[in-house]
Structure 1
Amino acid sequence: MYLTFSLLLISFLDFISSAPVVTSGYAPVPAVCPSTPLVRTATGISSSESAYLASRLPIASAALGKWLQKVNPSFSTSNLPVVALTTSGGGLRSLLTGAGVVQAFDSRDTDLGTSGLYQGLTYQAGLSGGGWFLSSLAGNNYPTISSLEANLWTPAFADSFLVPANLAAAPAVYEQVVVDILAKQAAGYSPTIVDPYGRLLSYQLLYGPDGGVTDQLASITGLSNFTSHNVPFPIITALNVETSTGVCLPPNNTVIYEFSPYEFGSFDSGVNAFTQTQYLGSILSNGAPVIPGHCETNFDNLGFILGTSSDVFNALCTAFPADATGILANFSALINETHALTFMDEFAIYPNPFYNYPHSSLVSSQKNLTLVDGGESNQNNPLFPLLQPSRNINVILVNDNSADTSANFPDGSELYQTYMQAQLAGLTKMPTVPPTSVFLANGYNIRPTFFGCNDNTKITIVYLPNHNYTFPSGESTEKVQYSPSETQGMIKNGQQVATYGMNGSFAECLACAVVKKTGDTLPSGCQACFTTFCYD
């Protein structure tokens, strides 16, 4: 994907010298700082998130209870768990499969045994392609998947602007993106490769004018489904790379950053702090503005953030062939030469809100944070934010669309890596997950599996791996253009992933997994479900 995209960047730079510098909704703008602290230590979730949950939980519990009663009236609704959903990385393969999973859970959009579970979720997280999906869903005020498919995704993916020929056929888009990048540079922020990348993705994922150019992550808090607490709390993840040490790729234990409509930061010990999302881009020192009262807004452009979560261009930082020719040589020249528009590097660059902050020992000396794709640490499912004790989550539905095998399907290695890293990080709520050899030997990579069933100290993970039930869903992560029939086929196959191939009894087994640890009496059929689906 980054090789194809380099052609686009070259064409941008050929055009840039003649482009006028004008205002754009993409550029950060000065603002008066809020009266509330800009940075806080990560002692728990924020007061804003707590307030959202206080209103969301009763709504989610009522919906979860309604779904359980639909599945089997014998289920108790008196003591209901907190349920979350994650969608992995994997480009459009993951976006479309994840969309089908949500569609199968959404009572507004389908009438299946699983329909209604989505209304009972409290959290939803995504990274990379899963972050694209979550951004498109949340940034557009949570429409149905059917609506997004028909009115946005199908035409946009068929004529993807990440394909040079398609962008060349849309000169107005091309010129607008150039204007946006120049405006950000004029505001004092050196653009990186993620800026045009995120802008072009936004044209495919957001409804707003000029590809959602004025859509910010923080602005989701003003959308009607969020203000009415009808939707799960969204979180997108990205990874830290310590470029100051000459490193270009994150290690498996790198810092995992989370973006939400309220905050950006990390619970990881090296950062241990959060800042307000609305004021990302502000120049801070020890949690206060360097220029008293002076902050910035608009830096949290939703396209830039979803581009950050899927930024794989850092792979070229060290693994660049010495004998590169053609497109690779052009790309090398692109990122090293000086142009009217200067691309710093292949990383998403954020002014470090934790600069000189004493609780952020790992990054406190860095003026900028360099972030990349949330799945590059071999943890392609965004679980770390949901394993935090302060979020009190009981069940996580994990839709894994990773390309671990040569056929672009998951093999359990990403979930196993998260299990291993969770042990090192002291996240004790992560249930035991076996290594890849056990996954493959038992077929856990091609069917649902429940982890943590019999340990009341652990979260239950309902693992839903991508499998080609009705469509060849093992598409390459680098595939950025889908025909209408492919888009439809992938989404429908995602429904199959959520329902175990439309298995008539799976909805009840899923319900059994969701409520097992409540201590309530379960329907008699649950024991057979646990025998079939529980790992432990």
Structure 2
Amino acid sequence: MFSTLLVASSLPLLAVAQSAASLAYTPVYGTCPSGFTLVRQAGSSAADNQTLNPQEAAYISARKSNVLPNAWKTYLSNLEATNASLPSYVSDILSNSSSDTAVYPNLGIACSGGGWRATMFGAGVLNALDGRNETAVAFGTGGLLQAAQYVTGLSGGSSLVGSLAQANFPTMEVLAFGTNATDPTHAWGGWLSQITQQTPYTNATQNNEYIQLLIEEVRGKSEAGFAVSYVDLVARDNGRHFSNGTDLDNFFDDSLVHGAGYTWSGVANVSTFVSYEQPFPILVATLLSPNGNMSNVIPNSSFIIPISNPIMELNVYEMGSYDPTLAAFTPMEYLGTMNESICVTNYDQAGLVMGASGDWNTYYNTSESTLVSTSMYTMIEALNDTLPQTNIVLDGTLFPNSFHGPATEGTFIDAGETIIMMSDGGSDGEAVPIQPLLVKARGLDIIFAIDANQDWANEYWSAGGSLVNTQNRINTLFPTAYSFPPVPTNTSEFIAQNLSTRPTFFGCDSSTEAPLIIYLANGGPPRDGETSLTNVAPNNVTAEQLQAFLDQTYTIATQGNPANVSAAADPEWPACLACGVVDRARNRTGVERSGVCSSCFDRYCWNGSTYGL
């Protein structure tokens, strides 16, 4: 990787009156609370030695007890209303009259990267799983979203998951388009996809002024002594699209905070989180390190991060990694803190955390000529001219290194750095954020993996590359830390076997301890003959285009894999999906697969060369 230090000499900053947004975005120093611990050791790779954050464990336990029993019963009721012919064990598991939470399936959902395409595609798939969507309920898939324990997001998927969590877990329609409210300052205004991010005007002069406005909104953070980067500007733009407080009418009102002050740890205070109604949200980034082993970058690829660098997760309670090369976390609320005496708060801005997961522009920092030709360079130049810093890499997301020093020395490659940097969660080739769902301490049975990343050359279709790269990383580096089911060894196999053009189950062998992966990709157009709308890489999307995209994604998410190859959709897909969801729980009871579940697994499972067991 070309390591450009886009810096200027240290010059005195001019005193400028800070805007409300700048003040709300500025981290705050204060005395650490009594009993504060900066670094939590997460244990070794052994499942019996790994530990969850106590707050996360309490959240999941309360969700299992208070929410999931009814959620699973509601999902079952929706499914049975379709007159699906299910083996009795499916209803026995999902109805669970004994109320033993250990009987229920443990479900996680992963939402991939892929820019706006991934944000929209992921929302369309979640809409097909949402128990508040009457169409999904009637079809028999509605309710699975409410029954999930975890939902992860990366890059474009982090915009989806991040906005969903902080907007108080609305329906997908409300999330995408917003809702009317009496208090527009704090109302959820939707994604405002019709306004291009970072260049919202058609006039270049106005766009330059907009960039300067974003820079002024991070001035307070800079003057408080914290390093700022290009991603801080992205964070302030993210605030206008994926945080509360902005709508079409006030987007250009520079007197408002536009999402500044909304923190990722603050999600714990929204009502649907307090009542355990949300699946636990986790965003994923990769460590951008000067100390990485560059021989571990995937060869002959555009990826820039070695697969040996820790994959970082940013959840509501903490930031860190379960990779054995770190195996430690620091509190999210006090992100930016370097010791146990003086604590930092307000650093974990929701827009910045989403930006850390989605900083795909580091792909362009491979040569100076490539970097100079990008829109990022213009923003970096403007940032450097206004808030000059010395020896700061400006194309990554910057965090004061809470893991600095002896707490992680000897394992963590950046233990000696005072600042750690993060890049797009897919920068190492893993654009589907599966790793947090493979953590053994979380005990997940099923991962519903949504893939809208681009794998096909000159096309914007998905072809399983992220699963291939995850398999290679785990098998090569961490075979005891994570369990991952077998998948093809290259994207050519995915394409040849149509594994990404229809839902595919990986890990159908019940003897494996790995979760069953239900893989649903943006791998091709819907089979009903509609013109393709989802293989795009848009910068802005009108409301009409967004609705059409969501509608087509719903079609793709519900068409299944019909036994009749000439059919557009599989009428048994809702039943087959339920069979996959309960399969690990079924295995725990010792019951054999039967009925429609047997034929579903024949049709949907990949066994190493084709479908079937």
CA distance in 2, matches of 1:179, 1:203: 15
Do the aligned partners of residues 475 and 193 (structure 1) sit closer, same or farther apart at CA in structure 2, a change above 3 Å counting? farther
Task: Write 1 or 2 for the structure with the bigger share of helix.
Answer: 1
2:212, 2:382 within 8 Å by CA — same for their partners in 1?
A: no
Q: Determine helix, strand or coil for the equivalent of 2:556.
A: helix
CA distance in 2, matches of 1:153, 1:328: 27
| Alpha-carbon distance, 1:195 to partner | 0.6
Per the alignment, residue 265 of structure 1 pairs with 320
Per the alignment, residue 6 of structure 1 pairs with none
Matches within 5 A, 1:452-467: 452-456=507-511, 457-466=513-522, 467=524
Q: Determine helix, strand or coil for the equivalent of 1:390.
A: helix
Structure 1 stretches of at least 4 aligned residues deviating more than 3 Å after TM superposition? 16-23, 152-155, 166-176, 244-248, 324-333, 335-344, 357-360, 473-477, 520-523
CA distance in 2, matches of 1:296, 1:231: 27
> Is 1:71 matched up with 2:68?
no
| Alpha-carbon distance, 1:386 to partner | 0.9
CA distance in 2, matches of 1:444, 1:272: 34
Per the alignment, residue 20 of structure 1 pairs with 17
Per the alignment, residue 3 of structure 1 pairs with none
1:387, 1:429 within 8 Å by CA — same for their partners in 2?
A: yes
AA in 2 matched with 1:62: N
CA distance in 2, matches of 1:296, 1:482: 38
CA distance in 2, matches of 1:17, 1:61: 59
1:93, 1:473 within 8 Å by CA — same for their partners in 2?
A: no
CA distance in 1, matches of 2:376, 2:320: 36
Aligned-CA RMSD value: 2.8
Per the alignment, residue 525 of structure 2 pairs with 468
2:110, 2:432 within 8 Å by CA — same for their partners in 1?
A: yes
> Is 1:364 matched up with 2:415?
yes
| Alpha-carbon distance, 1:203 to partner | 0.5
Per the alignment, residue 173 of structure 2 pairs with 146
What do residues 64-98 of structure 1 show as CA deviations (whole Å, max 9, x unaligned)? 23312432474213321100001000011000010
CA distance in 1, matches of 2:241, 2:120: 13
Matches within 5 A, 1:126-525: 126-151=153-178, 156-165=192-201, 177-208=214-245, 210-243=257-290, 249-284=304-339, 289=340, 293-321=341-369, 331=378, 334=381, 338-342=385-389, 344-360=393-409, 361=411, 362-405=413-456, 406-423=458-475, 424-426=477-479, 427-435=481-489, 436-456=491-511, 457-466=513-522, 467-469=524-526, 470=530, 472-477=532-537, 479-500=538-559, 503-519=570-586, 521=591, 524-525=595-596
Do the aligned partners of residues 267 and 329 (structure 1) sit closer, same or farther apart at CA in structure 2, a change above 3 Å counting? closer
Q: Determine helix, strand or coil for the equivalent of 1:210.
A: coil
**Higher mean displacement: 452-461 or 401-410:** 452-461
Say which of 76, 90, 96 aligns to 2:120. 96
Do the aligned partners of residues 476 and 192 (structure 1) sit closer, same or farther apart at CA in structure 2, a change above 3 Å counting? farther
| Alpha-carbon distance, 1:218 to partner | 0.3
What do residues 145-170 of structure 1 show as CA deviations (whole Å, max 9, x unaligned)? 11122326777111224225258669
| Alpha-carbon distance, 1:394 to partner | 0.3
AA in 2 matched with 1:388: V
Structure 2: state its 5+ residue gaps.
Answer: 1-5, 7-12, 44-50, 81-85, 97-102, 179-187, 246-255, 295-302, 561-568, 608-613
| Alpha-carbon distance, 1:315 to partner | 2.5
Per the alignment, residue 38 of structure 2 pairs with 38
Q: Determine helix, strand or coil for the equivalent of 1:359.
A: coil
CA distance in 1, matches of 2:375, 2:347: 30
CA distance in 2, matches of 1:394, 1:337: 48
CA distance in 2, matches of 1:18, 1:265: 36
| Alpha-carbon distance, 1:490 to partner | 1.5
| Alpha-carbon distance, 1:193 to partner | 0.2
Do the aligned partners of residues 155 and 80 (structure 1) sit closer, same or farther apart at CA in structure 2, a change above 3 Å counting? closer
Q: Determine helix, strand or coil for the equivalent of 1:251.
A: coil
2:200, 2:207 within 8 Å by CA — same for their partners in 1?
A: no
What do residues 250-282 of structure 1 show as CA deviations (whole Å, max 9, x unaligned)? 112321000001010011122111010000011
1:202, 1:303 within 8 Å by CA — same for their partners in 2?
A: yes
Do the aligned partners of residues 533 and 297 (structure 1) sit closer, same or farther apart at CA in structure 2, a change above 3 Å counting? same
TM-score by length of 2: 0.78
Q: Determine helix, strand or coil for the equivalent of 1:111.
A: helix
Do the aligned partners of residues 325 and 191 (structure 1) sit closer, same or farther apart at CA in structure 2, a change above 3 Å counting? closer
1:33, 1:294 within 8 Å by CA — same for their partners in 2?
A: yes
AA in 2 matched with 1:259: L
AA in 2 matched with 1:533: Y
| Alpha-carbon distance, 1:448 to partner | 0.2
CA distance in 1, matches of 2:376, 2:158: 31
Q: Determine helix, strand or coil for the equivalent of 1:65.
A: helix
Per the alignment, residue 603 of structure 2 pairs with 532
Structure 1: state its 5+ residue gaps.
Answer: 1-8, 10-15
Q: Determine helix, strand or coil for the equivalent of 1:212.
A: coil
Say which of 64, 68, 75 aligns to 1:57. 64
What do residues 321-361 of structure 1 show as CA deviations (whole Å, max 9, x unaligned)? 28x87767964981895544547411111001100033352
2:243, 2:350 within 8 Å by CA — same for their partners in 1?
A: no
| Alpha-carbon distance, 1:407 to partner | 1.2
Do the aligned partners of residues 114 and 319 (structure 1) sit closer, same or farther apart at CA in structure 2, a change above 3 Å counting? same
AA in 2 matched with 1:431: P
CA distance in 1, matches of 2:24, 2:379: 30
AA in 2 matched with 1:315: Y
TM-score by length of 1: 0.89
CA distance in 2, matches of 1:492, 1:87: 18
Identical residues among aligned pairs (%): 27
Do the aligned partners of residues 433 and 350 (structure 1) sit closer, same or farther apart at CA in structure 2, a change above 3 Å counting? same
CA distance in 1, matches of 2:350, 2:532: 31
AA in 1 matched with 2:461: F
| Alpha-carbon distance, 1:496 to partner | 2.2
CA distance in 1, matches of 2:373, 2:42: 47
Do the aligned partners of residues 229 and 327 (structure 1) sit closer, same or farther apart at CA in structure 2, a change above 3 Å counting? closer
CA distance in 1, matches of 2:270, 2:336: 23
| Alpha-carbon distance, 1:428 to partner | 4.4
